[in-house]
Amino acid sequence: MTALAALLILTWLYPLVLAVVYMVRPRTSPWLAASAAGPALVAALAMPKGAALELSWMLLGARYGVDEVAQTFLFFTAVLWLSAAIFGVGYLAKDNKRWRYSIYFLLAMAGNLGLIVAQDMGSFYTWYALMSFASYGLVVHTGDEEARTAARVYIILVMIGEVLLFAGLAMLFIASNSLALDLAADPLAAALIFASFGVKAGVVLLHVWLPLAHPAAPIPASAVLSGAMIKAGVLGWLRFLNPVGALGEWGGFLIGVGLVTAFYGALIGVTQRNAKTVLAYSSISQIGLITVAYGAWLLTGRTDQAALTAVLLYMMHHGLAKGALFLGVGFAGVNRAAVAALLLPALALAGFPLTSGAVAKAALKAATATLPDGWPVLLNGLLPLAAVGTTLLMARFLWLMATTAPQAKRPPKVMWGAWLALLVGVAGVLFVWPSAGSAVRDAFKPDSLWVATWPVLVGALAAAIAPWVVRSISWSPLPAGDALVLYISVVVHLSQALRVAQNSVEGGERRLVAAFSAWRRTIAAADPAASWELRLRSNWLLVGGALLGLTLALLWMVGAAIE
Amino acid sequence: MMGWESFLPLLLFLSSFAPGLVIFFLEEEAHTTRTVLNLFGALLKLALLAIMVPGLLEGRVYETRLPLLPEIDLVLRADSLSVLFIVLSASLWLVTTIYAIGYLEYSPNRSRFFGFFSLCVSSTMGIALAGNPLTFLIFYEMLTICTYPLVVHRGTPQAMHGGRVYLAYTLSGGVVLLIGVVSLHVLAGPVEFVDGGALDAVGARSPEALRWLFPFFIVGLGVKAALVPLHGWLPRAMVAPAPVSALLHAVAVVKAGAFGIVRVVYDLYGVNLAHDLGLIDPLLIAAAITIIVGSLFALNQDDLKKRLAYSTVSQVSYIILGAATFGLFGAIGGLLHLVHQGVMKITLFFCAGNFAETLGIHKVSEMDGVGRRMPLTMAAFTIAALGMIGIPPTAGFISKWFLGAGSLQAENGWALGVLLTSSLLNAAYFLPILYRGWFKPQQGEWPEEHLYGRMETHWMLLFPPAITGAFVLLLGVLANMPFGLLRWVEFLILLEYRL
């Protein structure tokens, strides 16, 4: 086996093996887990595009490989897992359930990295499931009421997503008669796959689990949930639904969905009172923008590089920035400098000049510029408004961070190390990433500087006057998960109806059996002396009668049939 | 074919029948002899299989033929379908024997138990090997009789009641099957099971009669296969000791019914004829209803074994759904599930037995925090439960994948919907158990705790679920390996579809 093939396998095998090590030896040093994403990072940087490996004995026949998409995903995903793992060494140092956390963390990591390099349906679905189910352990970790509710909602939506994906993939498999990661040609299959990954990504109406689950998890887990794992949904879109597939014609629809998601997330998000919930809504909002980029790519009708690059750059930018924001929550109430440093990823999300956000937005603008009809005009008008929304969200977040009650505890040094390293990544990576070259140049053009600046200024201004406005009107925030309330009431009614139906059916059968035995007993009790005879007769009457009746019926039927 | 090889199927039957008979006459305390006999029988069976499988791959047929009635022989024939079922039962029997020895170590009536236990497996062998409907019927009834003492083993009023209901259901089913077999004989003369179906000529002559007979076979077999609404005995038979439930659900009774239906569809009628006669669509609908209703009933059961029982009702019908789906993928999925469901369900029952024996836990609501006390058992339970839902990379995913793809291939998209609804329901009744076991803290004392030194439970109780649990994973992860189960099933299905 070549070194490249080994590296490809180690990407997911190494965290998997570490998970087993922790299962068997709970006292293993937490630093071992911190190294788990190492092979993936090396693979992202060193693996030539096009490397592939066939493991035909595995699952339904497995294929692994690295292409352009996988490389970008592998890089920012590995960076996030790596920094979250190191951060976790410090953050969970005094947690008595750290052992359990490490296992689920490593399993989820193996799933997330595995699905990126998987090149066949069976493997992709497997790693995707491992990631989704293992994350349950992260969401429920703290074990309080909030976490339990969040985890329940989360797992239900995971199951729904799994089932939709299964149906979509099965349709794809039957249509193409192959397990290759292929394009969905059938509109229904495409819709199922889109919805399934939409649950993971957090597209509006399918997003309800996200504002509950991301804040409930411990901070490093939130960072990877929001930074890396929801992107797996977008990866799913890219893998199965591209411009030449059935969904190509839906590009416009997806841009609409993305815009609604972007504004919806910002609107609900600013009303939240928990810093992590605000970040979760910001993730929804940002996924909306990524959906816009993705829809634009579909709308081009060809596997256009510019639009795909925009999606990938946006992904990387948001992944790193959101990871840094979440990890930053670990310093709330502890250190004012840390809160100030959060300005960097916050401004990046808002797309302020000289940040990764500006580069990502420039790429998005370049991708949408060539769209037909009125799309460029519409998007040029609406996207800056989305940036205003993001600025408001970030202002809200920073406000909540700055007003957190001071705490006496001092975060361990490893937390600082991991976080600062990630901040450096946020500041620098997009400017040196090879495929970002033209986007970086665009971002420095004077007119784009202005386009990137004014929404932030407007947003900041709005945030500054917001307290006065809010004080003058009475309002109460929507609960995290917003539309969830509606879904729950539907489910409750359904399950009540089900229980009633079930009791009546089951009770009916039980009464039937009981009546039969009671009848037998009364016959036996009526005349104890002759009971054996009667009992025999009562049974034989039934059995014999049934037998006779059936035989006669059958003879008649056979006779009729032969004639 | 003559010579000693023609006695191999008979030996396969006798390898558990003879030890069973001897065990009846053993003293209660003859622990070692009984164990040696049991294990000897189980291992001998596996050795016989090791001789036969290579021959089968070369296309040889092993057949024992004894005169029984005028025109009708007692035929024991090892073809590829029977060997699939036998490999499953023989391996799981070995594990279950070990488990049962550990489970019933100090309880009364062990000789009676193990005697009937062996007879029960012999009947299953007979069912698997039966080469014609009458032979099948004989062993099918023998199974009913041999299982009764196992179900009522504890002798409590509840057990006696469960046993009575069991007999009432299964004997009635047997009568219906008898009518079917006799009428078929009247109609078609002596018929034997043949790959691809034996009734083509009759089908051409009197299709109406065959159409009328089909329900008799299905109802007769459907009682044991627990097709809704013939499933009422199964949840009541839960009073049996855990190893019995494990065997009942994974290889013996329920599986015998499902296997019978597969036999009737593939080797009696032939899937092409059954399809042409329009018989498999109603069967598909019956299976679909069973899958959903079984899962719905499982939702609200607090008794762990009862929940598992209803889950069996649902899962066994996956096999029938596969058999009733016209097309290669569905057929492959059904037969894969015949094996996969057995391995997964036996694991779940082993684990349920471990919880009951070690901690006195019988209810789902008592399982809080059990993962910390019994991590290995709970891990095996988790893997098997995820398999039941169909989560990759477990065995359950592989069969669900083929069943789902098969439904689409046969243009029965709604059947895929049924499978996926069932997956959601399975998740709804299995995941809460996993949540309680792993994430909830223990509530007070365990109902009835036994300590076993450093192990979480007796090793004879621990190893069987650990082994079968590992197989649930391996059958999934290594599904596509050469000489694997999938290859065998593909080979078999091509024969049945005459391709």
Note the pLDDT tens digit of each residue in B272-330. Answer: 999 999 999 999 999 999 999 999 999 889 999 999 999 999 999 999 999 999 999 99
In this predicted structure, the answer to whether residue A64 has a pLDDT above a threshold of 80 is yes
Residue A486's Cβ-count burial label (10 Å; 0-12, 13-18, 19+) is exposed
Q: Rounded CA gap, B492 and A223, in Å?
A: 50
A172 to chain B: nearest residue by CA?
A: B405
Question: What's the sign of the alpha-carbon dihedral B294, B296, B297, B298?
Answer: positive
What is the percent of chain A where pLDDT is above 90?
60
Of the candidates B418, B424, B385, B337, the one whose C-alpha atom is nearest the C-alpha of residue A163 is B424
Q: Rounded CA gap, A240 and A248, in Å?
A: 11
Chain A residue numbers with beta carbons less than 8 Å from the beta carbon of B431 are 155, 159
Q: Rounded CA gap, A331 and A334, in Å?
A: 5
Q: Rounded CA gap, B476 and B393, in Å?
A: 5
Whether A144 contacts chain B with CB within 8 A: no
Instruction: Identify which has the larger pLDDT, A472 or A121.
Output: A121
Whether A122 contacts chain B with CB within 8 A: yes
Following CA atoms A454, A460, A461, A462 in sequence, which dihedral angle do they give, to the nearest 10 degrees?
Answer: 110
Q: What are phi and psi of A522, to 5 degrees?
A: -65, -40
**Count of other CB atoms within 10 angstroms of residue B157:** 8
Q: Rounded CA gap, A53 and A2, in Å?
A: 10
Chain B residue numbers with beta carbons less than 8 Å from the beta carbon of A143 are 439, 441
Instruction: Identify which has the larger pLDDT, A361 or A557.
Output: A361
Q: Rounded CA gap, A269 and B141, in Å?
A: 67
In this predicted structure, the answer to whether residue A524 has a pLDDT above a threshold of 80 is no
Shortest Cα–Cα distance, B475 to chain A (Å): 9
In this predicted structure, the answer to whether residue B38 has a pLDDT above a threshold of 70 is yes
Reported confidence tier of residue A437, pLDDT bands at 50, 70, 90 = confident
Q: Rounded CA gap, B388 and B344, in Å?
A: 7
With beta carbons less than 8 A apart as the criterion, state whether A109 and A15 touch.
yes
For B332-365, the pLDDT digits (tens) are: 999 999 999 999 999 999 999 999 999 999 999 9
Output the CA angle A476-A482-A483, nearest 5 degrees: 135
pLDDT mean over A30-49: 93
Predicted local distance difference test score (pLDDT) of residue A474: 67
Shortest Cα–Cα distance, A345 to chain B (Å): 35
Reported confidence tier of residue A563, pLDDT bands at 50, 70, 90 = very low
Reported confidence tier of residue B69, pLDDT bands at 50, 70, 90 = confident
Reported confidence tier of residue A527, pLDDT bands at 50, 70, 90 = low
Query: What's the predicted TM-score (pTM) here?
Result: 0.93
**Count of other CB atoms within 10 angstroms of residue A547:** 16
With beta carbons less than 8 A apart as the criterion, state whether B323 and B262 touch.
yes
Chain B residue numbers with beta carbons less than 8 Å from the beta carbon of A170 are 401, 404-405, 407-408, 416
CB-CB under 8 Å, B420 with A558 = no
- Tell me how far the alpha carbon of residue B456 is from its chain's centroid: 28
Question: What's the sign of the alpha-carbon dihedral A262, A268, A270, A272?
Answer: negative
In this predicted structure, the answer to whether residue A303 has a pLDDT above a threshold of 50 is yes
Least confident of A124-133, B36-45, B68-77: B68-77
With beta carbons less than 8 A apart as the criterion, state whether A78 and A40 touch.
yes
Q: Rounded CA gap, B358 and B446, in Å?
A: 9
Q: Is the peptide bond before B393 cis (omega within 30 degrees of 0)?
A: yes
pLDDT mean over A218-222: 96
Q: Rounded CA gap, A400 and A395, in Å?
A: 9
Q: Which residues contact A497 (CB under 8 A, 6 or more apart)?
A: none
Q: Which residues contact A58 (CB under 8 A, 6 or more apart)?
A: A123, B477, B478, B480
- Take residue B433 and report the two structure tokens written for it: 């158990």
Q: What pairs with residue B66 in β-bridges?
A: B74
For B235-257, the pLDDT digits (tens) are: 999 889 999 999 888 888 999 99
Q: Which residues contact A420 (CB under 8 A, 6 or more apart)?
A: none
Chain B segment 24-83 residues within 8 A of A by beta carbon are: none
Which of A125, A155, A160 lies closest to B431 in CB terms?
A: A155
In this predicted structure, the answer to whether residue B430 has a pLDDT above a threshold of 90 is yes
Predicted local distance difference test score (pLDDT) of residue A151: 95
In this predicted structure, the answer to whether residue A246 has a pLDDT above a threshold of 70 is no
Average pLDDT score over chain A: 88
CA distances (Å), origin B413, targets A168, A188, A373, B416? 11, 12, 38, 5
Q: Which one of B185, B187, B431, B433 would you mutate to disrupt binding with A, by most A Cβ within 10 Å of its Cβ?
A: B431
Chain B residue numbers with beta carbons less than 8 Å from the beta carbon of A513 are 165, 232
Shortest Cα–Cα distance, A112 to chain B (Å): 15
Q: What are phi and psi of B66, to 5 degrees?
A: -120, 135
For A356-413, the pLDDT digits (tens) are: 999 999 999 888 888 887 888 999 899 999 999 999 999 999 999 998 888 877 889 9
Element (H, E) at A63: strand A62-65
**Count of other CB atoms within 10 angstroms of residue A253:** 14
Q: Which one of A60, A104, A548 would you mutate to disrupt binding with B, by most B Cβ within 10 Å of its Cβ?
A: A60
With beta carbons less than 8 A apart as the criterion, state whether A430 and A72 touch.
no
Q: Rounded CA gap, A465 and A397, in Å?
A: 16
Instruction: Identify which has the larger pLDDT, B61 or A276.
Output: A276
Which of A167, A557, A562 lies closest to B420 in CB terms?
A: A167
Whether A488 contacts chain B with CB within 8 A: no
In this predicted structure, the answer to whether residue B53 has a pLDDT above a threshold of 80 is yes
Reported confidence tier of residue A319, pLDDT bands at 50, 70, 90 = very high
Whether A260 contacts chain B with CB within 8 A: no
Least confident of A124-133, B5-14, B335-344, B474-483: B5-14
In this predicted structure, the answer to whether residue A339 has a pLDDT above a threshold of 70 is yes
With beta carbons less than 8 A apart as the criterion, state whether B126 and B139 touch.
yes
Q: Rounded CA gap, A358 and A356, in Å?
A: 5
With beta carbons less than 8 A apart as the criterion, state whether B131 and B77 touch.
yes
Predicted local distance difference test score (pLDDT) of residue A13: 97
Element (H, E) at A139: helix A121-139
CB-CB under 8 Å, A125 with B392 = yes
Instruction: Identify which has the larger pLDDT, A107 or A337.
Output: A107
CB-CB under 8 Å, A513 with B232 = yes
Reported confidence tier of residue B258, pLDDT bands at 50, 70, 90 = very high
pLDDT mean over A337-356: 93
Shortest Cα–Cα distance, A342 to chain B (Å): 34
A393-422 burial code (b ≥16 CB/10 A, e <16): bbbbbbebbeeeeeeeeebeebbbebbeeb
CB-CB under 8 Å, A551 with B179 = yes
B212 to chain A: nearest residue by CA?
A: A557
Predicted local distance difference test score (pLDDT) of residue B1: 44
Chain B segment 203-242 residues within 8 A of A by beta carbon are: 206, 208-209, 211-213, 216, 229, 232
- Tell me how far the alpha carbon of residue B25 is from its chain's centroid: 29
Instruction: Identify which has the larger pLDDT, A416 or A447.
Output: A416
Q: Which one of B214, B435, B474 would you mutate to disrupt binding with A, by most A Cβ within 10 Å of its Cβ?
A: B435
Whether B132 contacts chain A with CB within 8 A: no
CB-CB under 8 Å, B172 with A513 = no
**Which residue type is seen at A198?**
G
CB-CB under 8 Å, A59 with B206 = no
Q: Rounded CA gap, B373 and B455, in Å?
A: 10
Shortest Cα–Cα distance, A397 to chain B (Å): 31
B124-155 burial code (b ≥16 CB/10 A, e <16): bbbbbbbbbbbbbbbbbbbbbbbbbbbbbbbe
Whether B470 contacts chain A with CB within 8 A: no
Predicted local distance difference test score (pLDDT) of residue B87: 92
Locus of tokens 């909002």: A285
In this predicted structure, the answer to whether residue B374 has a pLDDT above a threshold of 90 is yes
First to last CA, chain A: 71
